Structure 1
């Protein structure tokens, strides 16, 4: 039921989908049903565009598979666009400001506005899968963002709001030069948010492991590894982890800025 799970051609059952699209509110997009998008600059890659302004987001998220020799050597981002890449699996070389950053699973690179990102698969002929993000930078006087690269295996795990069974990792600095952050939130089986959140920030979230039950606008729905969720500003949201392994997802959040009126 889609190119990512190699189920194409005539269906073996009735056509059905767990997708839920409510523009300017929220969306649940499972792996089944994803299609390839042709994007200039990406060679020998399968690219799927997820959240966009057409959905109601102020950012764009992608899932990208780099095949043997695949990548983007022309450049992604630059000018007033900030970008971020996270390696779901595989091995790549990302570059920024003429510096190379070898990245393996859990590795990431953030490029601020004005810095172009380039990507190359270096996984020994095997594919690599990426979570990719871009957003127009919101400048404020006296502050600038900078290039950041690391691996989540080296990052501190913080008890989320004091709960020892929910862990938060901050992938970018808490610095006013950054108008957004990327986090990974992990729930042990049976753990949950402490309350249903309602806030001005929007999120794009890709589930990295496990299974959960997510509340979006007071509708509970099952979710699992590979699913993508868009949450617009003020959408009530919360989750439970279920199953036999940690339920975790990587997500973006706009922050560190006042709101125009």
Structure 2
């Protein structure tokens, strides 16, 4: 059974120092796991016995395409009306516990590593069937960019264990990506993958590209290059990168470094309306 990091909540003691790794820059943000306490949780309409931490939301002039939540559902909780935006698509990724997901009447039980894609307008519900333990999952939302002549993707369920990672060229498997969607499938306008680095592996150049990123660290630790800064990160941290922010990393060990990665893909760059 995989062991992904999930928040514990609570509040820090009054004796804790204020110094922290949290930062918000023009090109990126770092939300360390210690900031996700009870005091910053949110609630949603039509969700029962549920709380969530909002990690990302569209901000004008920053990252504008997606929102990402960490969701905790207590035993017996959930929602029969989870999504209020008919244009929103979603990816759910379970980090702990058991989630019962119904997609147009078909029931799926997702445990740690479980993954689901839900297209816009899809009927779905979620419940925590466990009597004693909460379920934790990530909910990534993006408004779907429809294109005439391109079909909307179908809903599907998968898992981290079911998909074979693909090694990046020239890395001998030390850097690999678990791709839940075929990159050539142009129906999809976002990818949510898992990136894995073996201890000591690296991104050996500063990636600089148009895609925005949400990056939740599932396991391990690393030193991450963000724009002009090197930042220490660990499991439970969240990185939020706007387009063209230079990025690279060294995996510090002793175990693997893995993160859940969002990026927008396969669409024209939106242009301002003509004057």
Deviation digits for residues 206-234 of structure 1 (CA, Å, limit 9, x no counterpart) = 10000011111121000000001111100
Distance in 2 (CA, whole Å) between partners of 1:77 and 1:148 is 20
What value does the CA root-mean-square deviation take over the aligned residues? 1.7
Alignment partners' CA distance in 1, 2:13 and 2:218: 29
Match of 1:38 in 2: 43
Matches of 2:187 and 2:7, distance apart in 1: 36
Matched, 1:97 2:99: no
Tell me, what secondary structure is at the counterpart of 1:178? coil
Q: 8 Å contact 1:78–1:117 — kept in the other structure?
A: no
Larger deviation: 4-13 or 68-77? 4-13
User: What is the 5 A alignment of 1:191-230?
Assistant: 191-230=201-240
**2:164 counterpart of 1:161:** no
Moved more, 80-89 or 69-78: 69-78
**1:99–1:91 distance in 2 versus 1, CA, 3 Å:** same
| Secondary structure at the counterpart of residue 255 of structure 2 | coil
Secondary structure at 2:161 match in 1: helix
Q: Which residue of 1 aligns with 2:31?
A: 29
Query: Does 2:151 match 1:151?
Result: no
Q: Give the distance between the partners of 2:97 and 2:41, measured in 1 at CA.
A: 20
Runs of at least 4 residues off by over 4 Å: none
Q: Quick check: which one's strand share is greater? A: 1
Q: Which residue of 2 is the match for residue 51 of structure 1?
A: 56
Tell me the residue number matched to 1:79. Answer: 86
Report the secondary structure of 2:50's partner residue.
strand
Aligned to 2:242: 232
Once the 2 structures are TM-superposed, how far is the Cα of residue 33 of structure 1 from its aligned partner?
Answer: 1.9
Contact 1:207 1:228 in 2 (8 A): yes
Taking structure 2 as the reference length, the TM-score comes to: 0.89
What is the TM-score when the length of structure 1 is the normalising length? 0.93
Q: Distance in 2 between matches of 1:248 and 1:236?
A: 19
Structure 2 unaligned regions, length at least 5: 1-5
For residues 50 and 117 of structure 1, what CA distance do their matches in structure 2 show? 23
- Structure 1, unaligned runs of 5 or more: none
Aligned residue among 115, 121, 134 for 1:114: 121
- Structure 1 stretch displaced more, 219-228 or 148-157: 148-157
> 2:113–2:161: 8 Å Cα contact kept in structure 1?
yes
**Post-superposition CA distance 1:151-201 (Å, at most 9, x none):** 110101111233121111101233111111111001011101131100000
User: Could you say which residue in structure 2 is the equivalent of 1:179?
Assistant: 189
The superposition leaves residues 115-143 of structure 1 with CA deviations (integer Å, 9 ceiling, x where unpaired) of 13321112342111101111100011122
2:253 is the counterpart of 1:250: no
Cα distance in 2 between the residues matched to 1:221 and 1:239: 9
Q: Equivalent residue of 2:262, what SS?
A: strand
Task: Name the SS of the counterpart of 1:235 in structure 2.
Answer: coil
Deviation of 1:86 after TM superposition, in Å, equals: 0.3
Q: CA deviation at 1:57?
A: 3.0
Alpha-carbon distance between aligned partners in 2 of 1:236 and 1:223, rounded to the nearest angstrom: 16
